[in-house]
Structure 1
Amino acid sequence: MASAPQLPLFYNGLEPLSSEVHANFKVKPSDTAPFLVNQHAIPVTVEEFPLIQRHMPIVFSSGEDAIPIALMGLNEGVNVFISEEGRLIDETIYVPAYIRRYPYMLARLRPDADELSLCFDPSSPTIGAFDEGDALFTDGQPSELTQNILKFNENFEQAAARTGQFMKEIKELDLLMEGEVTIQQDGIEQPFVYRGFQMIDEKKLSELRGDQLRKISQSGMLPLLYAHLFSLALMREIFARQVKLGKMPQPQLNA
């Protein structure tokens, strides 16, 4: 999800939004998201599971610090929901909040800073000193648009914190297992096998008893875990979309 210097997925840079430096900056709406064209795995929060599981498979990334991700394609570089121009092919699908917050995010300006500051990716074509667009500042104060952007990002950070707690509890219950999905395409003898992700061990989940089962039931975790499990059936639908789009998959998933 990151490279050196360490930046989150999609972001090429981060600059704190300032009423002095960016007093004349405006935002112009865009109906395309070119940064999504080659992205197949998007971080999501647990609160989004009920909506996402209707459209995309939800899995967990590999490694110790696993996070939930929605698959918009089964193979790296393939997104079956986005056109080559960066437009949504199907506008009825749920778009994860991680995508909708771009090019903004809350970040610490210094490692020792207590507060998070609203930042933006200066490489984004949607924000700048434009003649037209919606102003980010009015008379030196954050506009209603900027206040809404800040609120959205604050809500996202809170959801991310709850997701972190969710993942901690999953690990404590030892419910994660290495995932594998085999898909047999008509006319091709060799099946496609997808690995490189984690999923909930349904057998271990069904064997939970007593306090453990009561805890995940009362906390609301149980329906979220099953939303993840139910969503895995969509892998075959994503595979079929790739075939239809002529984006034949490779035998390995690197989620």
Structure 2
Amino acid sequence: MASAPQATNLPLFYNDLMPLNSRDHGNWHSRTTDQAKWLVGQHAIPLTAEEFVHASRNYPIVFSVGEPPVPLGLMGLNEGVNTFIDDEGRASEKVYIPAYARRYPFMLAKLAPESEELSLCFDPTTDLVGEFDDGAALFNAEEPSDTTKSTLEFCRNFEEAGFRTQNFVEELAKHDLLMDGEVAIQQAGNDQPFVYRGFKMVNQEKLRELRGDVLRQWNQNGMLALIFAHLFSLELMSDVFARQVQQGKGPVPVLAS
């Protein structure tokens, strides 16, 4: 069901990456859009830990089965289904869009494997950045424009949130709190429930058995609130399933032989 970004050289959504610079892109502009076409058919979107509270109001939050586990917002339960984004890339209602998706087509990346410095890059296959007249200028002469500075700041904040999320997940793993998840959803008219696996979730029994000093520390640093946001969000599994059925994108029952 849930999967982390593809294990390729390029992260989820990106077809290519090109460093932004005033020499090659001095006359380029950046457009805004209400059509996030890169989200069409994407059911599992990476989340940072600090987004848990906002995201948990709309859809379930789980962890991928890969190493290291990645927090994911499930906008659909089945591959190729996003119940909140229509076929044109528009949100069907007010819904929290993860920062991972909002930063597209930009991101910070290393220009060389041995480099420690991150540079602002973009996906050159997008129609949101280019040498056109409309939109916001990316450079003023050779200096980054306010738009580019804001984009750079957003991407930096996202990277920092990513490091904090990594620490959060490592803390969960340190106490062996992540277990294989399973959710069974019974649909009216079907004898057998639909069973979803392929994700990880916090083990509530082990959480209750944690030492008091660990729980106090997590309560003070806000980690406990994030865990509860994740656990409460799992109640939305059936809601997202119902949205799939309503939109005609529900799973097909397996007929008994």
Question: How would you bin the TM-score normalised by the shorter chain?
Answer: over 0.9
Q: Which amino acid aligns with 1:131?
A: D
Shift of 1:133: 1.6
In structure 2, the partner of 1:46 is 49
Shift of 1:232: 0.2
Q: 1 CA distance for matches of 2:215 and 2:253? A: 37
**5+ unaligned residues in a row in structure 1: which ranges?**
none
Contact 1:27 1:135 in 2 (8 A): yes
Contact 1:10 1:35 in 2 (8 A): yes
In structure 1, the partner of 2:170 is 168
CA RMSD, aligned part only? 1.3
In structure 1, the partner of 2:62 is 59
Q: Name which of 28, 31, 54 aligns with 2:31.
A: 28
In structure 1, the partner of 2:239 is 237
Q: 1 CA distance for matches of 2:253 and 2:123? A: 34
TM-score by length of 1: 0.95
Matches within 5 A, 1:156-235: 156-235=158-237
Per-residue CA shift, 1:83-140, capped at 9, x if unaligned? 11111101x2111100100000000100111210000000111000002221000111
Per-residue CA shift, 1:131-167, capped at 9, x if unaligned? 2221000111100000000000000000000000001
Contact 1:75 1:250 in 2 (8 A): no
1:2 paired with 2:6, answer yes
In structure 1, the partner of 2:147 is 145
Per-residue CA shift, 1:66-85, capped at 9, x if unaligned? 01000000000000001111
Q: 2 CA distance for matches of 1:40 and 1:250? A: 17
The number of equivalent residue pairs is 250
Choose 223-232 or 204-213, whichever is displaced more.
204-213
Per-residue CA shift, 1:169-214, capped at 9, x if unaligned? 0000100000000000001111100000000001110111232222
Shift of 1:220: 1.2
Q: 2 CA distance for matches of 1:81 and 1:58? A: 15
Distance 1:250 1:168, change over 3 A: farther
Secondary structure in 2 aligned to 1:199? strand
1:81 paired with 2:84, answer yes
Contact 1:74 1:249 in 2 (8 A): no
Secondary structure in 1 aligned to 2:22? coil
In structure 1, the partner of 2:122 is 120
Q: Which amino acid aligns with 1:73?
A: G
Contact 2:190 2:253 in 1 (8 A): no
Choose 167-176 or 30-39, whichever is displaced more.
30-39
Q: 2 CA distance for matches of 1:28 and 1:251? A: 43
Contact 1:194 1:251 in 2 (8 A): no
Q: 1 CA distance for matches of 2:17 and 2:251? A: 34
Secondary structure in 2 aligned to 1:69? strand
Q: 1 CA distance for matches of 2:63 and 2:121? A: 27
Choose 121-130 or 201-210, whichever is displaced more.
201-210
Identity across the alignment (%): 56
Q: 2 CA distance for matches of 1:174 and 1:162? A: 19
**5+ unaligned residues in a row in structure 2: which ranges?**
none
